[in-house]
Amino acid sequence: MFTRMLNGVRNGELGFRGIASEHDMGKMNCAFDKKRIWARGLLVECPFKTPLEDCPLKEVRELSIKQRIAKVDEMSDADLDTVLSHHWECQAKRENKK
């Protein structure tokens, strides 16, 4: 399910977290909140109406809205990056096929 795709993220395979100033941390928190808002929207419905088989949110969308929101609220920044990156890549592929 969704957590299988995120295992690589939890193992630290997708990036480096450096030391940031307080100002940078404020910016990152704002970006983190925006990522969470994007992910919540994607959990409501696939923008293309029919998700592809490899969509990490496909099974999660079968949960109640309350459970979906809870899933997003539990996600780390790395988890959100994984979901959003998958979405943007999928969107680019689908738009280029038109």
Does residue 38 form part of some domain?
no
Number of domains in the chain: 1
Residue range of the domain that includes 85 = 53-98
Does residue 42 form part of some domain?
no
Does residue 5 form part of some domain?
no
* Buried-exposed string 21-44: b where 16+ CB fall within 10 A, e elsewhere: eeeeeeeeeeebeebbebbeebbe
Does residue 7 form part of some domain?
no
Q: What is the overall mean pLDDT for the chain? A: 74
Does residue 12 form part of some domain?
no
Confidence of residue 30 (pLDDT cuts 50, 70, 90): low
- pLDDT tens digits, residue range 48-85? 999 999 898 888 999 999 999 999 999 998 999 999 99
Q: Is the pTM of this model over 0.75?
A: no
Does residue 63 form part of some domain?
yes
Does residue 25 form part of some domain?
no
